[in-house]
Structure 1
Amino acid sequence: MKIFDYLYLFGYSLHRRYGLSRRKRLEGRTISIGNLTLGGTGKTPLTIEVAREALRRGLTVSILTRGYKSSSKESLIVSKGEGPIVDWRHSGDEPYLMSIKTRGAWVVKDPNRYRGGLISGTKDVFVLDDGFQHWRLYRDFDVVVIDGTDPFGGGRLLPFGRLREPPGALERASLMVITKLERRDEGIEKELRRYNRVAPIFYADFRVDGFRTLEGPVRAAEVSTRRAYLFSGIGNPRYFEALVSNYGINVKGALRYRDHYDYTKRDIERMVKNAKKAGAEILLTTEKDLVRLSGMGEFDIPLYAVSVRLELKDRSFFDILFEGLMPEG
């Protein structure tokens, strides 16, 4: 380890100690979904799937999120189960998207997840989006999502690497979910077992689940048969581009922006110009990027987003999380 790694680790340790000393507990089943590395592992898609499964089982559920890059720093109810009731700039792009994709669930944005849980209108299940490093709230399960293509983010701590914590933090995990692999990888499992010998390991993969515009879902044929120019501002753009190509869409080119990028009119002009020059018929992006483009006006070329979902290959994962919980009535 280098001097900056030690400094980061020292600050992280102080922050963790302070948070644990003030830990509080909500009354319902609390499930944290998080990761060890920055961006692109699939923690938010898994949060959505856990919330959906709770709803399928007849349970009431709230998603508690800090709302990265939100303009509001206080408690904010993003949804009461019927879709977003605030503008995405107040909530942040991910809470807004979660409120669209988890109808029936409350979504509450608050850096203090305990406070957010108290103002939510549910009591059965609380799902913490990006909760692994949120020390101040007790959780019944700590689910850690691991990118199978880069499990430890290059091995360096922030700010010079992508690790948010040392790999040894995996000892806190109740369950581990490996994403982005088509089949089981015993080598990665062996590496994970160095840090946690007991947590069940599951696999999940991303699947194209449809397409949409700013107005709503559209038929797959409206998109899949046309030449597309891609752009995205997410944690792992290469995986998104590969997912679209593997679906069979004719990709003519791609632009990449940093995660949670705030698009401008000039950016849109550049996308359209590049797309037309490449012979593309449509612009294609992620659902999260589509949220950030709402209110930007008309495009000179049709704009679509790919709806993606995370599929667990072994659904006993959900049985573990919800064991013993029964809907009222």
Structure 2
Amino acid sequence: MDEVEYLRIISGQRQDWRARLLYKPCFRFLSLLYRVGVSVRNRMFDWRLRSVRTVEVPVISLGNLTTGGTGKTPFVAYLTQWFQNHQKQVALLSRGYRALPGEVNDEKLLLDRLCPGVPHFQNPDRGDSAVKAIQEGAQILILDDGFQHRKLERTVDLVLIDAVCPWGYGSLLPRGLMREPKSSLRRADFVILTRVDQCSAPELEQLSQELTRLVPADRIATATFQPRVLINVKNEALSLKSVNGKRVWAFCAIGNPAGFRLTLEQAGFDVAGLQVFADHHHYSSDDVQEIGAQAREAEVDLILTTGKDLVKMSEPMFCGVPVWGVEIGVEIREGSEFLEQVLQGLIK
């Protein structure tokens, strides 16, 4: 079973007898075992039965409760630029999830472009990376996808929650996409609801009420991801205004493909189709040919993808159709003053 089919099952899109009578009961049982494991692990850290490494500079962890899809990468870039604007030397620490042997993953490639010159250490042992980063002059460490990585002490825990699919279909892995239960948010210092422009006002209100039972209201902010410009593999830029209303074919390999499609539609594109690949997918020449063929058949003007996917491409055209990546930026809506206070506290 591939990842796309797995998501169709746990989201309820697939309702055949195998999904209802075989896969879901199996996933539910495994989720119970997973819950026990997560609970035991967290208690061991809470009670200091497992060692936690401490370093001498502030560590800001950016993470989530679910597997991917909340917008961590653009938010890492946002935080990096904020600290740089305050004259702090920043280093990024990440695991290097799904990197090919001897290579770096797509998130590092994208962050290297968004944050040029910022050291980025990829290593499952974030403690070792932290020591190396400090030795090289880092004054602030940003721990990417760090909420569950409790082996490194952090000064601030920021948690992102996707307002469109906040609780990963309501269950822990593998029945749903949650890495931890909602109650784990109590150890977060600040929560940021992302993609609030992609859900209705009643849905957002209900979600806010759920959150305030776990996190004080003055520790919650809302944010959106706004398209800014199109970039191609030659690092050429194209304004959104110049292609507004164009018919496009899209593809992506991210945690929230539906959110990407909605972003394109809200930006004014006519989306003829969206090809979805597993998160962090490594594209083959056959994939490129298939995408190009589908785009040509749909008679589109452009092929669009995410910035994270574009960095894995080498050709500016697929089957004669121009390929562009959508570069997005973070816009804090509500709670910006509270988030500013949190960040200011790290540079005093």
My pick for the range that moved more, 100-109 or 237-246, is: 100-109
Aligned to 1:65: 94
Indicate the larger mover: 147-156 or 55-64: 147-156
What is the Cα deviation at residue 197 of structure 1?
3.6
- The equivalent of 2:176 in structure 1 is 161
Give the superposition deviation at 1:70: 1.6
- Cα distance, 1:280–1:265 mapped onto 2, change above 3 Å: same
Matched, 1:315 2:336: yes
Q: What corresponds to 2:80 in structure 1?
A: 51
Structure 2: distance between partners of 1:324 and 1:275: 47
Amino acid at match of 1:132: F
CA distance in 1, matches of 2:60, 2:218: 15
Query: Alignment partner of 1:292: what SS?
Result: coil
- Asked if structure 2 preserves the Cα contact closer than 8 Å seen for 1:66 and 1:110, the reply is yes
| Deviation larger for 46-55 or 246-255 | 246-255
Change in Cα spacing, 1:103 to 1:27, as seen in structure 2 (3 Å) is: same
Which letter maps to 1:203? T
2:28·2:174 contact (CA, 8 Å) conserved in 1?
no
Assess, with a 3 A threshold, how the Cα gap between structure 1 residues 324 and 161 changes in structure 2: closer, same or farther.
closer
Alignment of 1:141-180 (within 5 A): 141-180=156-195
Q: CA contact under 8 A between 1:32 and 1:139: conserved in structure 2?
A: yes
Confirm or deny: 8 A CA contact 1:174 1:199 kept in the other structure.
no
**Distance apart, 1:71 and its partner CA:** 3.1
Q: Which residue of 1 aligns with 2:39?
A: 13
CA contact (8 A) 2:296 2:319 kept: no
Q: Report the counterpart of residue 139 of structure 2 in structure 1.
A: 124
* Structure 2 residue identity aligned to 1:177: I
Q: Provide closer, same or farther for how the CA distance between residues 264 and 324 of structure 1 changes in structure 2, counting only shifts above 3 A.
A: closer
Compute the displacement of 1:271 (Å). Answer: 1.1
2:209 corresponding residue in structure 1: 190
User: After superposition, what is the alpha-carbon deviation per residue over 1:236-287, rounded to whole angstroms, capped at 9, x for unaligned?
Assistant: 1111111111111232222111111121111111111111111112211111
Residue 272 of structure 2 corresponds to residue 259 of structure 1? no
The CA distance in 2 between the partners of 1:248 and 1:51, in whole Å, is: 30
TM-score by length of 1: 0.87
Query: 1:3–1:276: structure 2 CA closer, same or farther, 3 Å change rule?
Result: closer
Deviation by residue 1:25-46 (Cα, 9 ceiling, x = unmatched): 1211111000001111112221
Write the mapping of 1:68-107 to structure 2, written as runs, cut at 5 A: 68-72=97-101, 90-107=103-120
Structure 1 stretch displaced more, 119-128 or 280-289: 119-128
- Over the aligned positions, Cα root-mean-square deviation in angstroms equals 2.3
Q: Greater CA deviation, 164-173 or 104-113?
A: 104-113
Q: Which residue of 1 aligns with 2:259?
A: 239
Q: What is the one-letter code of the residue matched to 1:195? A: L
- Asked if the contact 2:28–2:175 (Cα under 8 Å) also holds between the matched residues in 1, the reply is no
In the TM superposition, structure 1's runs of 4+ consecutive aligned residues that sit over 6 Å from their partners are 295-298
- Deviation by residue 1:67-95 (Cα, 9 ceiling, x = unmatched): 111235xxxxxxxxxxxxxxxx7111101
- Distance in structure 2 (CA, Å) of the matches to 1:39 and 1:249: 25
**Cα distance in structure 1, aligned partners of 2:285 and 2:245:** 28
Whether 2:154 is the aligned partner of 1:139: answer yes
TM-score w.r.t. the length of structure 2 is: 0.83
Change (3 A) 1:214 1:285: same
Gaps of 5+ in 1: 73-88
Q: 1:12-51 to 2 correspondence within 5 Å?
A: 12-16=38-42, 21-51=50-80
* Counterpart Cα distance in 2 of 1:324 and 1:23: 20
Look up the equivalent residue of 1:160 and give its one-letter code: R
2-structure distance, mates of 1:66, 1:13: 22
SS in 1 for 2:228: strand
CA contact (8 A) 1:55 1:105 kept: no
Question: After the TM superposition, which of the residue ranges 177-186 and 51-60 deviates more from structure 2?
Answer: 177-186
| Structure 2 letter corresponding to 1:37 | T
Does the 8 Å contact 2:78/2:330 carry over to 1?
A: yes
Give me the identity figure in percent: 30
Determine the C-alpha separation between the residues in 1 that align with 2:318 and 2:170: 43
Question: Secondary structure at the residue paired with 1:91?
Answer: coil
Equivalent pair of 2:58/2:139 in contact (CA under 8 Å): yes
* Alignment partners' CA distance in 2, 1:108 and 1:199: 33
CA contact (8 A) 2:232 2:316 kept: no
Q: 1:276 to 1:176 in 2, by over 3 A?
A: same
Segments of structure 2 that go 5 or more residues without pairing to the other structure are: 1-26
More displaced stretch, 97-106 vs 34-43 = 97-106
Structure number with higher helix proportion? 2
What is the number of residues matched between the two proteins? 310
- Matches of 2:272 and 2:100, distance apart in 1: 35
